[in-house]
Amino acid sequence: MSARLELRLRVRLAGFELELDLASDADALGLFGPSGAGKTSALEVVAGWRRPSEGIVRLSGRTLFDSSRGIDLAPERRGVGYVPQDLLLFEHWSVRENIAAGGARASGAARGGILERAARVLELDPLLERSVATLSGGERQRVALARALGSGPDLLLLDEPLGSLDLPLRRRILPYILRVREEFGTPMVLVSHDPLEVGVLCDVVCVLREGRQVARGRPAEVLAGAEGAPAVGAEVENVLRGRVGAVRGASATLELGAGVKLEVPAPGLEPGGRAVVALRADDVLVATRRPEGLSARNVLPARVRDIVQREGRVLMTAELGPGVDPISVELTPESTRELGLETARQVFLIVKTRSCRVMAALPPSATL
């Protein structure tokens, strides 16, 4: 059985050569790394916009490119939906015309259905007759996404889907992308230099640096540096997923699994729904004994999995329970020493409700 996406290629770029060798079955694969690492070029190769000097690109067993066999499918025959960073909306058309542009590939009834679904899921129905030139940044992002979906692609490529948006807008667009994942089930490859974005959206992340893959795995593991990945970003964010339990006043209980519960801000959450929450590694406190008389609502028993020191900072990863993503905590070398933290030691993680930022609220059926 061949992998869903197979990339083995070399691409000559200005200053270096991008070399990729990966096979992935992930629903959402993240390509993560600093700018200039070759992430966008990798997407362009898959879309057929850029020709590698050699290699193979396969999608669900279909060969899109194979230099040794002289195969190089034209972009219109690849079945790949691409949302580039600059979106490339057709400014001379309305929202509806933009979304329908890709309908050419899907035929008949399937076509009508997919356009309506894309417009509904991305809440574009009220905007359909508007000219895209009059839209806001977030609206444009959604139109580009709907347009790509409307072409009925076998794979969706997203280049920094939130990169150009300001922070409040990111929080509004993120749930849309999660919903697209949920409702369409189209596999995605997502490029980002934002660990939070990758953590929330991807189930596997591949870290690129100067054209080479340097680490790969689950975002929670790789991005926190737990497996010895190099420093990849200034801030480490934990991304926690769970089911919403009781909602009481300003806070709600998020059940992370294995009996682990987290009190998070309630706005937007409904009992029974699913939610994705972000938590900065330096917003978590560590105690070696269960603290008492504390204002923070969350005191989570955990076990130290590993401690990594890099660039004068210490990153401790702690396990909360089986099937729950570990939580990373940023510490100073001094406090690590004074607390006597070491692998396998029992600790308590202290988290304020307000430190948990709800990134997305999803319906109960969501599988994320």
Partner 1 sequence: MDGDTAYALSALAVSLRVALGATALVLLPGVALGRLLARSDFPGKSAVETFVALPLVLPPTAVGYLVLRLFARDGPLGQRVLGFDPDVILTWRGAVIASAAMALPLVARTARVAFEGVPARLELMGRSLGLSRAQVLRRITLPLARGGLAAAALLGFGRALGEFGATVVVAGSIPGRTQTLSIAIFEDIQLGRGGRALAMIGLSTLLAFATVWSVEALLRSRRPAA
Residues that bind partner 1 (CB under 8 A): 47-49, 74-76, 78, 80-82, 84, 86-92, 101-102, 104-105, 147-148, 150-151
Pick between residue 101 and residue 169 the one whose CB is nearest to partner 1. Answer: 101
| Residue 74 or 167 having the CB closest to partner 1 | 74
Least distance to partner 1 from the beta carbon of 255, Å?
41
What sign results for the dihedral spanned by CA atoms 11, 12, 14, 15?
positive
User: Which is nearest to 45 in space by CA: 64, 26, 21, 23?
Assistant: 64
Q: Are 54 and 10 in contact (CB under 8 A)?
A: yes
Considering the complex, state which of residue 110 and residue 250 has its C-beta at the smaller distance from partner 1: 110
Whose structure tokens read 């998020």? 254
Q: Which region holds residue 319: left if phi is over 0, alpha if psi is between -120 and 50, else beta?
A: beta
Least separation, in Å, of the C-beta of 335 and partner 1? Answer: 50
C-alpha torsion sign, points 96, 97, 103, 108: positive
> What are the structure tokens assigned to 350, written together?
């202290």
H or E stretch at 137? helix 137-150
Task: Give the separation between CA 249 and CA 353, rounded to whole angstroms.
Answer: 13
Query: The tokens of 268 are what?
Result: 């937007």
Name the E strands within 46-87. Answer: 54-59, 62-66, 71-72, 80-83
Supply the minimum distance, in Å, between the C-beta of residue 13 and partner 1.
17
Rounded Cα–Cα distance for residues 114 and 117 (Å): 5
The amino acid sitting at 20 is L
CB of 157 to partner 1, least distance (A): 9
Q: CB 159 → partner 1: shortest distance, Å?
A: 12
Q: Which is nearer to partner 1, 47 or 278 (CB)?
A: 47
* CB closer to partner 1, 63 vs 353: 63
Provide the residue count of the chain: 368
- Provide, rounded to whole angstroms, the least separation between the CB of residue 101 and partner 1: 5
In whole angstroms, the minimum distance from the beta carbon of 103 to partner 1 comes to 8
Tell the smallest beta-carbon distance from residue 44 to partner 1 (Å).
9
Nearer to partner 1, 111 or 179 (CB): 111
Q: Which is nearer to partner 1, 102 or 138 (CB)?
A: 102
Distance CA 267, CA 80 (A): 37
Residue 57, Ramachandran bin (φ over 0: left; ψ between -120 and 50: alpha; else beta): beta
Integer Cα distance of 40 and 95 in angstroms:
26
Q: Which is nearer to partner 1, 25 or 86 (CB)?
A: 86
DSSP 203: S
